[in-house]
Structure 1
Amino acid sequence: MGAPKKLLILYYNFPPVKVPGAVRIHHFYKAALPWFDAIHVLATSNRRFFLQDSSLETGCQNIHEVPAWDLRRLTIRKTNENAPFVSSSLKERPLMRLLRQLVDSFPLNILIGDGGLIYILTGYLKARRLIKQEGITHVFSTFRPYSDHIIGYLLKGRFPEVYWIADFRDLHVDPVRKNTLCPPFQRWCNRQILRRTDLVTTVSEGLKREIQKLAPRVRVLRNGIGELSEEDQRPVKKFARFTISYTGALYTGKSDPGPLLEVIHNLLEDETLPASQTDLCYAGPTWLIWDTFIKKYGLDKITNNLGYLSRAEALAIQEKSHINLLLTWSTGNLKGVLTGKLFEYLAADTPILALINGPSDPELAGILSRCDRGAAFSSQSPGQKEQMRSFILEAFGQWKEELEDTPKKQPDYLKPYTWQVMMEQFIKELP
């Protein structure tokens, strides 16, 4: 029997905070439990002020909180919609965009960005004591925020024998979002920090190619699918009307449902798709942006806008729908923007229509093909609207023929994308 392995997770928004990144860490924590003798977590006490999601509870008894007097804590509003992010409409104002770029860029991202200097210093001191007292052997930090990587960087300098894994759910310097100022300087800062890592993980091959320019050793650890429980495998009662759903946020200039909505508009116009039997369902924080698209294509009468729901409610919509819409983007230089939504959709056992704003993405198309769960359509591919039309009509035909509810299943071709399988492979690579 080998020496005990003890893990310290550094994550400002540790679950059950209701943010997209917490879903990945929820699954990571659960899948890592069998492989470590103990798991400790360092997070901020600010998480108590943020909107919570009970479906993300981990049951972790070793959460160590430290204060963070950062910009988010100072501006958070105590309302029923108290989510730890700025509203989508405010984000797109020019002055706010500049402020966000400043806060995302070195050095302000470690001074007043999520976490901030107080969180970094108190977090480092707390983590240093944990390493000494608990015999921590591995540290896992995850971006965003960058402050968790700074704590990991300081710990690796103090304890070079500890194995440090730095995780990136997104790129810090995103060439599509243009989210930072002076990108060359930001990349230089990343190189100086990540040179201390033992391993960097990220969610796709596309992001891996970008991060390999900054770090010595990078591997893919996808967002993945959780194992189905007996309750999860119960028969699912689908919506009575033929329903196409999108659950999640829309990102201005990147997420573009327009081509699909145009196809749906045309199908309704020529009555190939009866309006009386069709629903468009949206659930997410950017309902105002969604409404703008809906009005542009005249689809108000078939649209059901549910707003910001709990994760459990959103997952139920995905299961009950007949097509789940996935919106992503790519450029000639950046592909593989595989959000956690993809793996939620795979688990829902519902056909996926992936619409890529940009060139085709072989990585996304390959996953959908291998899992037999749908198809990817590129905004730059000729004939994509005709192909989407055929995809929708095929699903509509299947809906008309469905006579009874069927249980969810997790076939063998989904197993490589489950957290249990991915974690087993991941652990084998660690010392």
Structure 2
Amino acid sequence: MQKVLIIAYYWPPAGGPGVQRWLKFVKYLPDFKLEPLVYVPENPNYPITDTSLVDEIPEGIQILKQPIFEPYGFASIFSKKKTKRISSGIIQKYKNQTALERFFLWIRGNFFIPDARKYWVKPSVKYLSNVIEEQGIKTIITTGPPHSVHLIGLALKKQKNISWITDFRDPWTTIGYHKKLKLTKSSQQKHKHLEQLVLNTADKIVVTSDATKKEFEELTGKPIKVITNGYDGVSKKTALDNKFSISHIGSLLTDRNPQKLWKVLQELVSENIAFKQALQIQLVGVVGKEVLASIADYGLGSFMNKVGYVSHSEVLELQPKSQVLLLLEIDSEETKGILPGKLFEYLNAKRPILAIGPEGWEAAAIVKATNSGIGLAATDESALKNVLLEWFALYQKDSLKLDSIGIEKYSRKALTQELAKFIRWESS
């Protein structure tokens, strides 16, 4: 079998959708006659961990590890909580930032380009150069963020006669938090230079959305393939919540706070006694203080079930029980191409999805195309209220369900087949 070296920062026991993406690709690549070798840090500083994912690592996979120097570990001496938040890309609004947090952001943005994992690049290149020769590897794949991982691929490509594929789980210079890093003009230019260098040196590029593909097509003529995130396995049939549960699964922070939804729910509980008696707002994962404050301000605190962070295996049990699955995105032009990893697991859960985000959101288009729910603009109160009333009426009749179509193409195995074809495809 052809060997493929995958270079990643996030790997179990790290938690989050970025981990699951390559964990599942690695699981299925051997089915398509490709042997994956995985290179990851030996001592990473993961902001979120999920030990249940360790059990999903396929047996027999060769996993290579080398130490990494993590500046976040040093910074945590001053404030562990703030450092953890910044390292995971969670950046509070300016007015809520302390002086120390603003200082950390400035240091992070201007001294650690492209990111704080940059010190892993040189030792990794030295180590992997030998691995490539010893194991006869002809193809390497780097996945980011962190985008410093792509610099490992860049250096190896310059040294070796190999095919290099970059996988961008998120954009580089246009992602939302990039603007909040307090970058100087010189730092912005360095980021853009590195981005273009990576895009134009790699042989092939993988992205997770059509929007990112269009963005990168303006920067390079290299082949670009959209391979979204996906779901694995078949969702188990289970009894639904007795309550009219509206569940959001995953981090729900300030910028995604659905103020219009809280307003509409406040109106419905005041106008409809049955709705008031049945409503449950279920929040699974990290929830920002501002979000909790909004829920309280709208008088919805008594309807909230704050579950907190749970393992991925528990998430898979919670999703198909929910009456409605809530998908949220920041209402801005730059988030139209964001496809949250949870979207595809929501599809697999086969519960109605209420997607609230920017007009023209790519995720909402997928929800609509698969008949899995409805996508609404964040400002459309009237439509939101009508949908909730319609779905609540169906819930009362025990008939709230939708017959989704075409979700099979988002299965992890089907997506891995597309990846395997792209790995073997030779550009003209």
TM-score above 0.5, yes or no: yes
Deviation at 1:7, TM superposition (A): 0.9
Deviations 1:156-207 (CA, angstroms, capped at 9, x unpaired): 1111x31111111112212643144233442122112322101111111112
Quote the residue 1:343 is aligned against. 344
Deviations 1:57-115 (CA, angstroms, capped at 9, x unpaired): 313531111111122333569xxx9996458687851542553354245x6135xx443
Report the Cα distance in structure 1 between the residues aligned to 2:290 and 2:310, rounded to whole angstroms.
Answer: 16
**Structure 1: runs of 5 or more not aligned:** none
Q: Does 1:390 align with 2:386?
A: yes
Secondary structure of the residue aligned to 2:233 is coil
Secondary structure of the residue aligned to 1:386 is helix
Deviations 1:269-308 (CA, angstroms, capped at 9, x unpaired): 1126532211001111234233122112110111111122
- Aligned counterparts, 1:60-139, within 5 A: 61-75=61-75, 85-86=85-86, 93=97, 95=99, 96-97=101-102, 99-100=104-105, 102-104=107-109, 108-109=112-113, 113-117=115-119, 119-139=120-140
Residue number among 233, 241, 251 corresponding to 1:227 in the alignment: 233
Quote the residue 1:170 is aligned against. 170
Report the Cα distance in structure 2 between the residues aligned to 1:59 and 1:430, rounded to whole angstroms.
Answer: 21
* Residue 48 to residue 295, structure 1, CA distance change in 2 (3 Å): closer
Give the number of aligned pairs.
407
Deviation at 1:154, TM superposition (A): 0.8
Report the Cα distance in structure 1 between the residues aligned to 2:58 and 2:410, rounded to whole angstroms.
Answer: 24
Quote the residue 2:378 is aligned against. 379
Q: Does 1:10 align with 2:7?
A: yes
Quote the residue 1:210 is aligned against. 215
Deviations 1:318-337 (CA, angstroms, capped at 9, x unpaired): 21111111111354465211
Residue number among 198, 209, 223 corresponding to 2:203 in the alignment: 198
* Residue 221 to residue 76, structure 1, CA distance change in 2 (3 Å): farther
Quote the residue 2:246 is aligned against. 244
Quote the residue 1:369 is aligned against. 368
Q: Does 1:20 align with 2:17?
A: yes
Which TM-score applies when normalising by structure 1? 0.85
Deviation at 1:142, TM superposition (A): 1.0
Deviation at 1:412, TM superposition (A): 5.4
User: What is the root-mean-square deviation in Å for CA atoms of aligned residues?
Assistant: 2.9
Contact map agreement 1:7 1:36 (CA 8 A) in 2 = no
Contact map agreement 1:149 1:166 (CA 8 A) in 2 = yes
Letter of the 1:314 counterpart = V
Quote the residue 2:410 is aligned against. 417
Report the Cα distance in structure 2 between the residues aligned to 1:143 and 1:290, rounded to whole angstroms.
Answer: 29
Quote the residue 1:35 is aligned against. 32
Secondary structure of the residue aligned to 1:12 is coil
Deviation at 1:426, TM superposition (A): 2.9
* Residue 214 to residue 59, structure 1, CA distance change in 2 (3 Å): same
Contact map agreement 1:279 1:304 (CA 8 A) in 2 = yes
Contact map agreement 1:44 1:115 (CA 8 A) in 2 = no
Which TM-score applies when normalising by structure 2? 0.86
Deviations 1:27-51 (CA, angstroms, capped at 9, x unpaired): 2222323224421111111248773
Letter of the 2:104 counterpart = L
Q: Quick check: which one's helix share is greater?
A: 2
Letter of the 2:240 counterpart = K
Contact map agreement 2:209 2:337 (CA 8 A) in 1 = yes
* Residue 9 to residue 423, structure 1, CA distance change in 2 (3 Å): same
Letter of the 1:223 counterpart = N
